[in-house]
Structure 1
Amino acid sequence: MVAVVLVFVPGELSFGLLAVNGAVLGVAALDWALAPGQSRLRIERRFPAVLALGVEGRITWVVHNTTARSVTVRVADELAPSLRASTRRARLRVPARGRTEATATLLPARRGRFDIEEITVRIQGPLGLMARQGTRRVPGVLRVYPPFKSRDEAELRINKARILEVGLRSARGLGGGTEFEQLRDYGPDDEFRRIDWAATARTGKAIVRTYRAERNQTVLILLDNGRVMAARVDDVPRVEHAMDAAMMLTTVATRLGDRCGLVAFDSDVRAVVPPARRREQLSRVTEAMYTLEPQLIESDYAGAFSFAVSRFRKRALLVILTDLVEQAVGESLLPALPLIVRSHLVVVAGVRDPDVERWAGEVPDGPEAAYRKAAAVAALDERSRTVARLRGFGATVIDAAPGDLAPRLADTYLKVKATGRL
């Protein structure tokens, strides 16, 4: 909107200036009157329903002009700073009875649900002196999911799942972990002891029994959302690494015919996805996790374990995604393990901090570096003791570097299936 300044000068020039001011006001009023009202324009906002954290997306504003004259429009959108929009404003020249659109990029820096409600619209008059401004409600919801960084690793393991069947042949000798699949003709690579003699007698040719991995087994992920998961490793909170591991395990397990579910907890249970092997299970698990933020409180492992075993009684592979810090494990996790280790196979997995390992291995060049090295060595010793204590309780422990947690967890699951431990 253009400001109109009235100038008052005493003397013989005052009447002339008043006339000029009056003319300017008249022109400005005419310009304002000719500017289309808000109801004459239709505003759309288009963006993906879902984006992944750190993955670029596009947002588009579309302005429809129902009037017989072209119009200049400025829009300013209500976008959260963490969406990191390249711009939230646009200037559009919209033709008569036409439409024009403007686009910006989004690069989310935070997970969660973003309710985007209002757009401020300024419609300029034909002379460019005045404008009509209003706020339009254009509601929309953008969901920012955790990034599935290990997706390719998951596909690689699924594609190589036939290797699992090779392992299952040796597992049959241990008497577990297999399901009878079919009878087929004996081949040169088959073991003699796998011949089905009854079928061989009936058909008059050698027939062997083939097996496959047991299916419809249960995998339950217990995702710690408490204080220890807020610490940053590789510039992101530990919980982000754990979420990636949860997504990879869900993908691999359900694609191989097993049931996978999720319980997220801190001092209370925050999200539950019952185990299932349906195609959309990954989406359900991701949907349950994407709004979670680590709470700066101690996690109640006993409460989470009691909830899990009371709701899901079938023997399962229980995967606890947490941090292997000595105090939390010693005071809360270890006392709660007897609730689950007797009836379930337990895996405890966490991500270690490469900075701590680097500090422990460096040669100090001064008092500050020496203190840092001593603290890092002590932290690694505590972590080693924690791993040993967990294994002493019968848990399988994964202490992985960033980027390795998800693949190592999936490999552990595949090994469990291959050896028939479930």
Structure 2
Amino acid sequence: MPVPSWRLAAAAAVIAGLVLLAPAPGLALVVANGALLIAAVVDWGLAPSARRLQVTRSVPGIVALDSEAEVVWKVRNPIGRRLRVRLADELVPSLGADSRRARLDLPPLDTASARTRLRPQRRGRFDPTTITLRVQGPLGLTARQGNVVVPGVVRVYPPFRSRKEAELRLARSRVLQVGLRAAQGRGGGTEFDSLREYSVDDEFRRIDWAATARARKPIVRTYRAERNQTVLVLLDSGRTMAGRVEGVPRLDHAMDAVMMMTAVATRLGDRAGLVAFSDRVRGVVVPSSGRAQLSTVTESMYRLEPELVESDYRGAFVETLGRFRRRALLVVLTELAEQAVAETLMPALPLVVRDHLVVIAAVRDPVVARWASAVPVEAGAAYRKAAAVQATDQRRYTVARLRGLGAVVIDAPPGRLAPELADAYLKVKSTGRL
């Protein structure tokens, strides 16, 4: 497709001004414009087609939501003279590119490159396929424009914001946690491991009195934490998970907790799996203890978006129990909206609490807590405080009811959901409850 340049417009304007000085302006205008048109056509004909240029796009296959990545375009000149090329890539706004356009000056029979930075704004898969090239003619009057198909795939994964917290709990092959002591994988399992000297963090019930009498100092028994146990995370992706807490969807907060649980559990020798559901089961990752399981789980959920439907907890529990009959730690990541929980989750809990250890985890909005504790200075603030206090009381009541049904409940602020959930799992391991 021919594209006129500013030089062509400038030349036409100059001609229009000069012909006014000619003895026969009309004839001069026709001749001058005809010559300019011929020059433009020749210029366009001398510009190579976009399809003759070799174009590549180097893009990272996987980018985390909170990170940056670089895109590199390379264009090769197939002819023996210098070319000036403009490039426009089909990068969607959600990828947050600094620019999707570039100008390149191509030496004869050589390659030039340009770069841009990506700062993705949302998760998902993006498939840029088309790059538009505008190749300028040697006179600069016109350009030849065309599209080149350059397939590409960019997968934007949820960010693992709690990675450092996970590493702290796994550093030097030791489980580190507040309020618990389980060194080198030793804990409250059922398999005897060894005897050692008593320390201030040990429970009195661990003291071996016979060994203490022989050694004449306190000696405790240590037990090897059981391995190859099953941790199943049920990730709610229904209506209530579409809400945002501190600008981040509840579903994304939950995904961070999923990655934390998968990383910690698999590194401790347990099998971690995932069931994503809304009004139906949307995806299943079979429990595994391999190091690649974290990548598998992340791959399975990075395209997951909340659906504006009511979550079917009973259906998710029934399908989970049908697939996995072995006793497991079931972690339900959801939202503790009182009405939804009372009508759907609570009636379904008896299906699983009898044979499995159930943990229900949700992220708590700190804004509501601030509203509830604020001192109102005008009518609007008073109404907001009353609503916040009511919501807070309802949430506490919901948590109490769930605990009364036999579930462990974690209601944590942003940034603490994943660490507190991991600590709950480690406590289960250290006390041998699973």
Tell me the TM-score normalised to structure 2 length: 0.88
Counterpart in 1 of 2:175? 161
Q: How far apart in 1 are the matches of 2:352 and 2:101?
A: 55
Counterpart in 1 of 2:248? 236
Counterpart in 1 of 2:37? 25
Distance of aligned partners of 1:165 and 1:365 in 2 relative to their CA distance in 1, 3 Å threshold:
closer
Q: How far apart in 1 are the matches of 2:81 and 2:61?
A: 34
| Partner of residue 404 from structure 1, selected from 412, 416, 419 | 416
Counterpart in 2 of 1:264? 276
Which residue identity is paired with 1:161?
V
Distance of aligned partners of 1:37 and 1:168 in 2 relative to their CA distance in 1, 3 Å threshold:
closer
Report the alpha carbon displacement of residue 325 of structure 1 after superposing the two structures with TM: 1.3
Which residue identity is paired with 1:328?
A
Q: Partner of 1:140: helix, strand, or coil?
A: coil
| Partner of residue 70 from structure 1, selected from 82, 98, 116 | 82
Q: Partner of 1:339: helix, strand, or coil?
A: helix
Which residue identity is paired with 2:66?
G
What is the aligned-residue identity percentage?
Answer: 58
Q: How far apart in 2 are the matches of 1:267 and 1:293?
A: 13
The 8 Å contact of residues 321 and 348 in structure 1, kept in 2 or not, is answered as yes
The 8 Å contact of residues 51 and 147 in structure 2, kept in 1 or not, is answered as no
Q: Partner of 1:116: helix, strand, or coil?
A: coil
Matched, 1:352 2:364: yes
Counterpart in 2 of 1:135? 147
Counterpart in 1 of 2:383? 371
Counterpart in 2 of 1:41? 53
Report the alpha carbon displacement of residue 192 of structure 1 after superposing the two structures with TM: 4.5
Matched, 1:326 2:338: yes
Deviation string, structure 1 residues 140-177 (Cα, Å, up to 9, x no partner): 11010101000000000012327754598673xxxxx2
Distance of aligned partners of 1:70 and 1:178 in 2 relative to their CA distance in 1, 3 Å threshold:
farther
| Partner of residue 266 from structure 2, selected from 239, 242, 254 | 254
Please give the residue correspondences for 1:85-96 in structure 2 after superposition, counting only pairs within 5 Å. 85-96=97-108
Counterpart in 2 of 1:199? none
Q: Partner of 2:386: helix, strand, or coil?
A: helix
Deviation string, structure 1 residues 2-41 (Cα, Å, up to 9, x no partner): 3565979998333332222222122212211211122331
Deviation string, structure 1 residues 229-258 (Cα, Å, up to 9, x no partner): 111101111111100000001000000100
Q: How far apart in 2 are the matches of 1:401 and 1:179?
A: 36
Distance of aligned partners of 1:121 and 1:349 in 2 relative to their CA distance in 1, 3 Å threshold:
same
The 8 Å contact of residues 44 and 62 in structure 1, kept in 2 or not, is answered as yes
Which residue identity is paired with 1:31?
D
Q: Partner of 2:169: helix, strand, or coil?
A: helix
Matched, 1:309 2:308: no
The runs of at least 4 consecutive aligned structure 1 residues that moved more than 6 Å come to 6-11, 167-170
Q: How far apart in 2 are the matches of 1:99 and 1:168?
A: 56
The 8 Å contact of residues 194 and 209 in structure 1, kept in 2 or not, is answered as no
Report the alpha carbon displacement of residue 97 of structure 1 after superposing the two structures with TM: 1.1
The 8 Å contact of residues 220 and 260 in structure 1, kept in 2 or not, is answered as yes
Q: Partner of 1:139: helix, strand, or coil?
A: coil
Which residue identity is paired with 1:152?
K
Counterpart in 2 of 1:285? 297
Q: How far apart in 1 are the matches of 2:183 and 2:119?
A: 44
| Partner of residue 15 from structure 1, selected from 24, 27, 48 | 27
Counterpart in 1 of 2:214? none
The 8 Å contact of residues 168 and 419 in structure 1, kept in 2 or not, is answered as no
Segment drifting more, 10-19 vs 259-268: 10-19
The 8 Å contact of residues 224 and 264 in structure 1, kept in 2 or not, is answered as yes
Please list every run of 5 or more consecutive structure 1 residues that lacks an aligned counterpart in the other structure: 172-176, 196-207
The 8 Å contact of residues 168 and 178 in structure 1, kept in 2 or not, is answered as no
Segment drifting more, 398-407 vs 15-24: 15-24
Please list every run of 5 or more consecutive structure 2 residues that lacks an aligned counterpart in the other structure: 200-206, 212-219
Distance of aligned partners of 1:271 and 1:19 in 2 relative to their CA distance in 1, 3 Å threshold:
same
C-alpha RMSD of the superposition: 2.4
Distance of aligned partners of 1:267 and 1:322 in 2 relative to their CA distance in 1, 3 Å threshold:
same
Segment drifting more, 400-409 vs 3-12: 3-12
Q: How far apart in 2 are the matches of 1:259 and 1:169?
A: 18
Counterpart in 2 of 1:178? 190
Report the alpha carbon displacement of residue 57 of structure 1 after superposing the two structures with TM: 1.2
The 8 Å contact of residues 71 and 95 in structure 1, kept in 2 or not, is answered as yes
Which residue identity is paired with 1:307?
E
Deviation string, structure 1 residues 294-329 (Cα, Å, up to 9, x no partner): 111100000000010110100000000001111111
The 8 Å contact of residues 110 and 144 in structure 1, kept in 2 or not, is answered as yes
Counterpart in 1 of 2:226? 214
Report the alpha carbon displacement of residue 46 of structure 1 after superposing the two structures with TM: 1.0
Counterpart in 2 of 1:51? 63
Q: How far apart in 1 are the matches of 2:106 and 2:134?
A: 13
Report the alpha carbon displacement of residue 55 of structure 1 after superposing the two structures with TM: 1.3
Distance of aligned partners of 1:194 and 1:116 in 2 relative to their CA distance in 1, 3 Å threshold:
farther
Q: Partner of 2:310: helix, strand, or coil?
A: coil
Q: How far apart in 2 are the matches of 1:170 and 1:420?
A: 8
The 8 Å contact of residues 51 and 148 in structure 2, kept in 1 or not, is answered as no
Q: How far apart in 2 are the matches of 1:98 and 1:255?
A: 50
Q: How far apart in 2 are the matches of 1:187 and 1:366?
A: 64
Q: Partner of 2:425: helix, strand, or coil?
A: helix
Which residue identity is paired with 1:131?
A
The 8 Å contact of residues 164 and 414 in structure 1, kept in 2 or not, is answered as no
Distance of aligned partners of 1:170 and 1:20 in 2 relative to their CA distance in 1, 3 Å threshold:
closer
Q: How far apart in 1 are the matches of 2:33 and 2:191?
A: 93
| Partner of residue 128 from structure 2, selected from 108, 116, 129 | 116
